[in-house]
Structure 1
Amino acid sequence: MGLCASSEKNNTPDTQTSSAKASPQQQPQGHSARTTRTSGTVSQQKQKQQQQHAHDVKVNNTNMSMNNAISPTATANTSGSQQINLDSALRDRTTNGQAQPTVSDASSGSNGKELKVLLLGAGESGKSTVLQQLKILHQNGFTDQETKEYTPLIYQNLLEIARNIIQARTRFSVHLEPDCRLTQQDLSKVLSYEMPNNYTDQFPPDIAAVISELWALPSTQRLITGPNASKFYLMDSTPYFMENFTRITSPNYRATQQDILRSRQMTSGIFDTVIDMGSDIKMHIYDVGGQRSERKKWIHCFDNVALVIFCVSLSEYDQALMEDKNQNRFQESLVLFDNIVNSRWFARTSVVLFLNKIDLFAEKLSRVPMQNYFPDYTGGADINKAAKYILWRFVQLNRANLSIYPHVTQATDTSNIKLVFAAIKETILENTLKDSGVLQ
């Protein structure tokens, strides 16, 4: 499911009109470990069959164009039963003079062709979650032992959430309510508590009681949703873990698939996930850490790359980096994307842009105005306009005129990632056939 994009810096996302005709492209109706090629465009019948979250925003192949006349293809679940519609993308496979990903860009293995794909992005953009989804979709998910091994990480996530809240309360002089049963000693106990490594027994009940009451305080809720919320770090999965806090801290806890997808651990090193695409083609996806300290390792993966998947969190527009509290996450992602798409290493590489965490973005947009951070944005709380604006900010950096395929994603939603990767694989397979002369 690809879409070629280039841009002109003077264009604006809400006013520029299309000056070239985009061609509707075929979209796969689903995929498995071995991709099945199907024809046809997205239809209302497909909508009814599977509620997809592959929101795609159109970018014209000649200049930046946000076409409002495209019918929606899917919905993204937000809080409660509310649903958000985004425009679908008409697929234009024009290459802008650049090579599209083909197996000729990758190495040949004894069992067929191998395609090298880099998964890049700043910290907490959702890269590792995407890989976990691919494990679920293509490697039969998590074994019992692997599931058990996630328990200590999830426990550490709970402690991290509590500690960050306590530290923020201190930083912004948020006092305990007069009728609160908690004391400063209770909070200090949580800050100093060290959980043993590989601990899989029940979460300590006394620590759990303090965290539960801390979360329920009105002053805590005002802190994490108020004007200071963007000034301190709090992991994106905080609402999910606190909603499931009682279950997670109960005896005989066993992590669910969603618990695992929501867990957070900084990636250190390089990880290779292999996907069988069919037609004797394997896609090697390399995930490297997104924090600044990890990026020096990226250079070791840059040779013979056929495709870059760049992840950015839509909801990070008001947040600070974990490693630098004075740096806005969104601005960091823009700088990083600029460096990637205009690097000599990727002069013949196509880029898939994942605008991730649409669920968190939809929830945040109504309470944290984006224009507070981007004065030139005029779309208010309209999620279509907001997503298109963010896409525009990224695509206008594409001075190298690479082919860019944007997808709005929710990495914690397995069905969404399944559909998106079906689209990516469909594009790669088609270009492989074109490269071999089978298709003209």
Structure 2
Amino acid sequence: MGCKFSTKKISQKDSKRNKDIEIRLQSDYKKEQNKTKIILLGTGESGKSTLIKQLSLLFSNGFDEDDFVTYRDTIRSNILFHMNILLQEATKLKIKLEEQNQLIAENFLKKEYCLPNDLNPETTEQINLLWKDPNIRKVYDLRSSFSLPDSCSYYFDEIDRIVAQEYKPTSKDILLCRIPTTGINSIDFQNKDLLWEVIDVGGQRSERRKWIDHFYDVDFLIYIVATSEYDQKLFEDLTVNRMEESLTMFQSIMKIPAFANKPCVLLLNKIDLFEEKIKKISIKSLFPEYLGDDDPTSCLKFIEQKFFDLVDNSHQIFSISCCATETDKMRDVFDQINKYFAQNSKKI
């Protein structure tokens, strides 16, 4: 017996459905072809994740309820973890707390608080007392010798609000929250006449081996530098200066063949912290060859030139200074980047 083939005609409804699918696929393909693919690079804690959060706030859907829960728990855990670090460093540095706080500190360290629920009214009161201790502030001021986020002082000051049962993180709380990037994160959004896909990869040394797979089809590069970290050490290696690590990484990236003739934005981040720090600590502590005064503009220009000196004339580089946690000002920064990319995309 022979096989019988169906000769049933495709219904008008099915035909329309197939046509709609084809139109959508063509539209998606066209969008993909017109998409500007940008890779965001920099060392750990330079501000890459904060930049991604700003993009989400300004051009995408912002944060959902799951995000709020995640950040709430992370912020509460970090407050406990960072107070533990301060107390441990006080011991290492042989800085004694005021007598009435010594027992509180000892008990705090013994219990090793770290879970979000550990931030209860009792531990909140203890942290408030410890944070008001002038000797803990001395330890905090010496944080360049160990690893501690600058934002922890903000959370200590806001602890009574954060511990409240109804607490929901604000945009500022989330922007300042430090969660190390692991793996690859990306965000798609429309900014004026450009459709962007921004890829964020982890900046810690252990994450950098994952970058290579995302080099070869990018259109542009954003390299972010934490300008205020010229006197600080790496989280993963306390013998290495963060600014020196950033310079070394930038130089190696610019030598990668995939980035030949690709435009680059050098984003000089954390200028608010830089301008404050420069009043107390000269950049000569890292760059003794700097002969100028401690004027923030001159110092920032010197650091910018340090990065420019590492590339040859084949690279197009555009520099912008910013504070990635300031949402209102970051809109203008993204507009500048958008304009730069729109102009240079015609040359590629």
Q: TM-score, normalised by structure 2?
A: 0.87
- The structure 1 residue matched to 2:323, chosen from 410, 415, 418, is 410
Q: Distance in 2 between matches of 1:176 and 1:245?
A: 21
Residue 136 (structure 2) pairs with residue 220 (structure 1)? yes
Residue 331 in structure 1 maps to residue 331 in structure 2: no
Displacement of 1:159: 1.7
Cα deviations across residues 41-100 of structure 1 (Å, max 9, x unaligned)?
xxxxxxxxxxxxxxxxxxxxxxxxxxxxxxxxxxxxxxxxxxxxxxxxxxxxxxxxxxxx
Task: Establish whether residue 230 from structure 1 lines up as the match of residue 150 from structure 2.
Answer: no
Q: Evaluate the alpha carbon distance shift between residue 223 and residue 181 of structure 1 in structure 2; reply closer, same or farther with a 3 A threshold.
A: closer
Unaligned runs of 5+ in 1: 1-107
Instruction: For 2:276 and 2:341, locate their aligned partners in 1 and report how far apart those are by CA, in whole Å.
Output: 34
Q: TM-score, normalised by structure 1?
A: 0.69
Counterpart of 1:146?
A: 67
Aligned equivalent of 1:98: none
* Deviation for aligned residue 1:409: 0.8
1:171-204, Cα deviation, whole Å (9 max, x unpaired): 11111223436444323245x2241xxx5x6931
Is the radius of gyration larger for structure 1 or structure 2? Answer: 2
CA deviations on 1:215-234 (whole Å, 9 max, x unpaired) are 11111112222xx4321111
Q: How does 1:362-381 map to 2 (within 5 A)?
A: 362-381=275-294
**In 1, Cα distance between the equivalents of 2:160 and 2:291?**
42
Contact 2:147-2:234 at 8 Å conserved across structures = yes
Instruction: Give the aligned partner of residue 159 of structure 2.
Output: 245
User: Structure 2 counterpart of 1:134, which letter?
Assistant: L
Separation of aligned partners in 2, 1:188 and 1:203: 14
CA contact (8 A) 2:265 2:320 kept: yes
Give distance in 2, aligned partners of 1:110 and 1:180: 64
3-state secondary structure, aligned to 1:132: helix
Q: Which has the higher helix share?
A: 2
Q: Is the 8 A contact 1:370 1:380 kept in 2?
A: no
The answer on whether the counterparts of 1:119 and 1:309 sit within 8 Å (CA) in structure 2 is yes
Which letter maps to 1:282? L
- 1:258 CA drift (Å): 0.3
- Identify if the C-alpha distance between structure 1 residues 431 and 376 changes in structure 2 by more than 3 Å, giving closer, same or farther: closer
Is 1:309–1:353's contact at 8 Å kept on the other side of the alignment? yes
**AA of the residue aligned to 2:183:** G
Residues 182 and 213 in structure 1, CA contact (< 8 A), matched pair in contact too = no
Correspondence for 1:260? 174
Matched length? 320
Mapped to 1, the partners of 2:192 and 2:101 lie a distance apart of 60
Unaligned runs of 5+ in 2: 1-27
Matched, 1:172 2:55: no
In structure 1, C-alpha distance between the alignment counterparts of 2:232 and 2:208, rounded to whole Å: 20
Contact conserved, 1:342 with 1:400, CA < 8 A, in 2? no
State the identity as a percent: 35
Q: Which residue of 2 aligns with 1:310?
A: 223
SS of aligned partner of 2:106: helix
Could you tell me which amino acid in structure 2 is paired with residue 265 of structure 1?
A: I
1:134 aligns with 2:42: no
**1:80-99 equivalent positions in 2, closer than 5 A:** none
Tell me the residue number matched to 1:162. Answer: 83
**Which whole-Å deviations, capped at 9, do the CAs of 1:384-413 have from their partners, x for residues lacking one?**
011001101111011363111100010001
Q: CA deviation at 1:305?
A: 1.5
1-side partners of 2:240 and 2:278: how far apart? Answer: 20
TM-superposed deviation, 1:289: 0.2
* 1:211 aligned partner: 127
